[in-house]
Amino acid sequence: MQLTRSQIIIIGSALLVLLLIVGVATGIIPGLRNLQDRPPELTLKVWGPDRPELFNDNLLAYETLRQNVKVDYEQINFLTFEQNFVNALAAGQGPDIIMFHNTWLPKHFNKIVPVKETQLNLKTLQEIFPTVVEQDFAPGGTIYALPLYIDTLALFYNQDTFDRNGIAIPPKDWLDFQNLIPKIRQKDTAGNITKPAAAIGGSNKSMDKAPDLLMLLMLQAGAKMTNEDFTQATFSQNVGGALPGIDAFNFYTKFTDPRDIYHTWNDGLNYSLDSFASGDTAMILNYAYQRETIKNKNPFLNFKVAEMPQPDVNQRSVNYPDYWGLAVTNNSGNPDWAWDLVLYLTSNDQIAENYLTTSNRPPALRSLIQKYTNHPELGVFAKQALSARSWPQVDRDAINVIFSEMINAVISNKLDTSAALVQAERQVTELMRARR
């Protein structure tokens, strides 16, 4: 049978279309895929207390890389952030990703989705982040969150006061620290402190981060803050024949004892940040993010930051962290994609450094810690991230109140240190058991 030219063209076209359909369906033809195999178009919602401009450039870069994904970041008031996200998740709403505090895992682990091992495994986590990240975000080997940065307590000191008193270098250990007190502290004829040498020994009433400082001293002394199965607090108990928790508490409160040679503080003094910014207090112990607070209060204050004093400079250092990371909520309909974004923002050197540059915060990645070691403002905090150590807190805010009340009970002479510590330990244990 003879076919006309038109019939041949029609049959050929039909065969070509058939081949294309088969090729697309099976993926045989390179570059052509079934639409169902293409990445889905989706929007990831992110909530955090950070300003949007800290993320904007990095989120735009991610959207350029993953063109099927749109990211919507919403800033939530810091004071209500935790309650807002808890309420939203309870209502089956809320974001795909939240900024997640380093102490939140014991309280909120059931609200977030861990990363799949195919996306990030524990060995890689240990290689790229300091030990404290595993402590806080992957204590059982399952990774629930990743850090954006790591801040730690450090020593802020007034350079003019040090120069005026002939002090050439800041103290490196607690013995040197306490020995500076009589040289710097000023009292009136009645024995009242007029110029404190340091803000230490007080409660939250007069001191910013008072509980954190006491917890650091306990960890430095070797106290075990909880038992192994996380059923009770143990910070008052015997460790190797010693009572490190009580020893640390006694050291802390002696700075508020008028009978002690190292007396330098009381809860009736001006708040520590204000007193330091005004030039009255020579030393405070605080986090990197408070540098801007102090500068805003007094742009002309000549102050510097040194590493946190240690019990013994010849032993392993212990520092105390306060930082935020990112976690994927169990409300997310796209947890794998959400984790893809979290990994991009936290484990990519360039992207992580963009965030640090914009926020002026210390690094979390080991590679950037090495790079920032000699940074004029962040170097101290970068180095300390490697020796930062944490402990599981079932409710950070409640524990801060318990520790502050414990301090107040001692410095107001209502309880001695041993009785106050045992009472606080019992209260924290009750919190832990109520959460089980």
User: Which pLDDT tens digits describe the chain residue by residue (436 residues)?
Assistant: 455 555 544 554 444 444 444 443 444 333 333 434 568 899 999 999 999 999 999 999 999 999 999 999 999 999 999 999 999 999 989 999 999 999 999 999 999 999 999 999 999 999 999 999 999 999 999 999 999 999 999 999 999 999 999 999 999 999 999 999 999 999 999 989 999 999 999 999 999 999 999 999 999 999 999 999 999 999 999 999 999 999 999 999 999 999 999 999 999 999 999 999 999 999 999 999 999 999 999 999 999 999 999 999 888 999 999 999 999 999 999 999 999 999 999 999 999 999 999 999 999 999 999 999 999 999 999 999 999 999 999 999 999 999 999 999 999 999 999 999 999 999 999 999 998 7
- Smallest CA-to-CA distance from 59 within 69, 290, 267 is with 69
pLDDT on residue 435: 81
Residue 73, classified by CB atoms within 10 Å of its CB into exposed (0-12), middle (13-18) or buried (19+), is: buried
Task: Please identify, in words, the CATH class of the domain defined by 163-318+394-434.
Answer: alpha beta
CA distances from 128 to 146, 147, 214, 348, 365 (A): 11, 11, 29, 10, 6
pLDDT on residue 22: 43
CA distances from 4 to 16, 18, 377 (A): 19, 21, 83
pLDDT on residue 33: 36
Which contiguous run of DSSP H or E holds residue 155?
strand 154-158
- Smallest CA-to-CA distance from 331 within 40, 46, 41 is with 46
Helix axes 396-411, 210-221, angle to 10 degrees: 90
For 37-151+321-385, the fitting CATH number among 1.10.1060.10, 3.40.190.10, 1.20.870.10, 1.10.10.10 is: 3.40.190.10
- Smallest CA-to-CA distance from 317 within 110, 169, 173 is with 173
**pTM, rounded to two decimals:** 0.90
215 alpha carbon, distance to own chain's centre: 15
Residue 86, C-beta contacts closer than 8 angstroms, at least 6 positions apart: 108, 111
DSSP 309: P
Question: Around Cβ 83, how many Cβ atoms within 10 Å?
Answer: 11
Would you list the domain boundaries of the chain?
A: 37-151+321-385, 163-318+394-434
The C-alpha atoms of residue 91 and residue 88 are separated, in whole angstroms, by 5
- Smallest CA-to-CA distance from 264 within 190, 178, 349 is with 178
Question: Around Cβ 94, how many Cβ atoms within 10 Å?
Answer: 20
Residues found in the chain: 436
pLDDT on residue 313: 80
Three-state SS at 410: helix
Q: Give residue 87's identity as a one-letter amino acid code.
A: N
Tokens found for residue 169: 């270098």
The C-alpha atoms of residue 18 and residue 10 are separated, in whole angstroms, by 12
Task: For Cα atoms 293, 295, 299, give the angle at the middle one, nearest 5 degrees.
Answer: 150
Asked whether this chain's domains 37-151+321-385 and 163-318+394-434 adopt the same fold, the reply is yes
pLDDT in tens, 124-136: 999 999 999 999 9
pLDDT on residue 38: 67
Task: For Cα atoms 138, 140, 142, give the angle at the middle one, nearest 5 degrees.
Answer: 55
pLDDT on residue 26: 41
The C-alpha atoms of residue 209 and residue 389 are separated, in whole angstroms, by 16
Task: For Cα atoms 72, 77, 78, give the angle at the middle one, nearest 5 degrees.
Answer: 110
pLDDT on residue 284: 98
Phi/psi for 156 (5° steps) reads -100, 130
Longest dimension (CA), the chain: 124
**385, 152 in Cβ contact below 8 A?**
yes
Pairing label, strands 112-113, 151-152: unpaired
The C-alpha atoms of residue 200 and residue 178 are separated, in whole angstroms, by 10
Residue 12, C-beta contacts closer than 8 angstroms, at least 6 positions apart: none
The C-alpha atoms of residue 383 and residue 387 are separated, in whole angstroms, by 8
**E strand intervals along 33-94:** 42-48, 69-75
**E strand intervals along 174-268:** 186-187, 193-195
